[in-house]
Amino acid sequence: MPNLAKAQTAEEKAAVAKAGRQVRSDRGHILVDKVSIGFEKRGRRTPVVTETSIEIAPGQFVSILGPSGCGKSTLLNSVAGYIPPASGQITVDGKAVTGPGSDRGMVFQQYSLFPWKTVRENVAFGPRMLGRADAGVVADSFIEMVGLSKFAKRYPKELSGGMQQRVGIARALANYPSVLLMDEPFGALDSQTRHMMQESLLQIWAEFRTTVLFVTHDIEEAVFLGDRVLIMSASPGHIIADIEVDLPRPRAAALTDDCRFLQLRRRCHEHIRAESLKAFEQQNRL
Ligand SMILES: Nc1ncnc2c1ncn2[C@@H]1O[C@H](COP(=O)(O)OP(=O)(O)OP(=O)(O)O)[C@@H](O)[C@H]1O
Ligand SMILES: [Mg+2]
């Protein structure tokens, strides 16, 4: 690991920090093979996700859209290893997922930082747990990556929502995961901050190239970020459409006015509208 402490100028520090983040694009192959997931409800097993198969290439950015309650978080939690599937199998880089692991980082909608730790301590936590003697240097590198070096000694409550979420991303990346699982990470942010975070996430991903599985309700966000948009049916959820987003990168806000973007957005909207109506009717029947 390069020595950030010995770097003098801002340029030197940036170069050292960048060199310290080993870019990887060869890992992060996800295979979800005929997976069904269910929960016990009133003594009966209720299916939540049924017969779902997804294959994601290393380094791909895949958005998942679906109506509320269709099982998006459940599926993501199964890839994370928190919820075992009832049938089928999930593998990451050929290894069966049997529980949580540092190869899969998770970022949630609610900022889940340790409130009693500083930004630096929060980000260093994962590498420290993995026994890395250079956990502080790793943390500094990722804090720099998300543009928060000046806030390294602050506590979460002293930061805005967007800043806390950037710390959450830095913390997840500091374990060098092959896969980053994001469950509506920008859902609690105002629209201006949300747009800034989307662009900033794409910049981070362009550098880090980890595989990203990104759950959202927001069609525009799904298309803007993804190489593909997977659309889930109303509950019990399964994939009903896999839409390739062949828009150029790097992407910036102006892309959302492009007619190809608008066409893709319309395609997603048509799928999601029918499923959302079904989900609404299902929820009203309960
Ligand atoms: N731990 C649990 N025990 C029992 N039922 C659960 C559990 N977690 C989720 N469910 C049920 O599974 C279904 C899918 O929930 P999930 O949170 O995966 O949906 P979602 O698509 O993420 O919804 P939203 O868009 O609102 O976040 C819901 O009916 C929910 O009530
Ligand atoms: Mg959810």
Does residue 39's CB lie within 6 angstroms of at least one atom of ligand 1? yes
Dihedral in degrees, nearest 10, Cα atoms 57, 58, 60, 65: 60
Residue 130 in any domain: the answer is yes
Contact between 49 and 75 (Cβ < 8 Å): yes
Does residue 59's CB lie within 6 angstroms of at least one atom of ligand 1? no
Q: Which atom of ligand 1 is nearest to the CA of 74?
A: 18
- Which ligand has the nearest atom to the CA of 182? 2
The C-alpha atoms of residue 237 and residue 233 are separated, in whole angstroms, by: 5
Looking at residue 71, what DSSP letter applies?
S
pLDDT at 107: 94
Q: Which residue has the tokens 């880089």?
A: 93
Q: How far, in Å, is the centroid of ligand 2 from the Cα of 69? A: 7
Per residue, the 3-state secondary structure of 239-278, as one string, reads EEEEEECCCCCCCCHHHHHCHHHHHHHHHHHHHHHHHHHH
Return left, alpha or beta for 140; rule: phi > 0 is left, psi -120 to 50 is alpha, else beta. alpha
Q: How far, in Å, is the centroid of ligand 2 from the Cα of 77? A: 10
Q: How far, in Å, is the centroid of ligand 1 from the Cα of 71? A: 5
Does residue 114's CB lie within 6 angstroms of at least one atom of ligand 1? no
Q: Which atom of ligand 1 is nearest to the CA of 66?
A: 21
- Residue 73's H or E segment, with its range, is helix 72-80
Rounded mean pLDDT, 116-138 = 95
What number of residues does the chain have? 286
Look up residue 24 and give its two tokens.
Answer: 């990887």
- Residue 33's H or E segment, with its range, is strand 30-41
Going by CA atoms, what residue is nearest to atom 9 of ligand 1? Answer: 74
Does residue 216's CB lie within 6 angstroms of at least one atom of ligand 1? no
pLDDT tens for each residue of 228-257: 999 999 989 999 999 999 999 999 999 999
pLDDT at 248: 95
Question: Which residue range forms the structural domain that includes residue 94?
Answer: 10-285
Residue 28 in any domain: the answer is yes
Q: How many domains does the chain have?
A: 1
pLDDT at 12: 60
- Which ligand has the nearest atom to the CA of 70? 1
Report pTM: 0.89
Is residue 4 predicted with pLDDT exceeding 50? no
Residue 4 in any domain: the answer is no
Residue 14 — pLDDT band, cuts 50, 70, 90? low
Going by CA atoms, what residue is nearest to atom 7 of ligand 1? Answer: 39
Is residue 286 predicted with pLDDT exceeding 90? no
pLDDT at 3: 46
pLDDT at 93: 96
- For 123-187, where are the E strands, in sequence order? 179-183
pLDDT higher at 62 or 196: 62
Q: How far, in Å, is the centroid of ligand 2 from the Cα of 257? A: 28
pLDDT at 6: 52
Residue 2 in any domain: the answer is no
- Which ligand has the nearest atom to the CA of 286? 1
Does residue 69's CB lie within 6 angstroms of at least one atom of ligand 1? yes
pLDDT at 17: 53
Identity of the amino acid at 214: F
Is residue 19 predicted with pLDDT exceeding 60? no
The CB-side HSE value for 41 (13 A sphere, CA atoms) comes to: 7
Q: Which atom of ligand 1 is nearest to the CA of 77?
A: 18
pLDDT at 174: 93
pLDDT at 284: 78
pLDDT at 31: 98
Residue 91 in any domain: the answer is yes
User: In this prediction, what percent of the chain has a pLDDT beyond 70?
Assistant: 91
Domain with 48 in it: what CATH number? 3.40.50.300
> Which residues fall within 8 angstroms of residue 227, CB to CB, at 6 or more apart?
60, 61, 62, 244, 245
Residue 1 in any domain: the answer is no
The SS3 call for residue 180 is strand
pLDDT at 5: 45
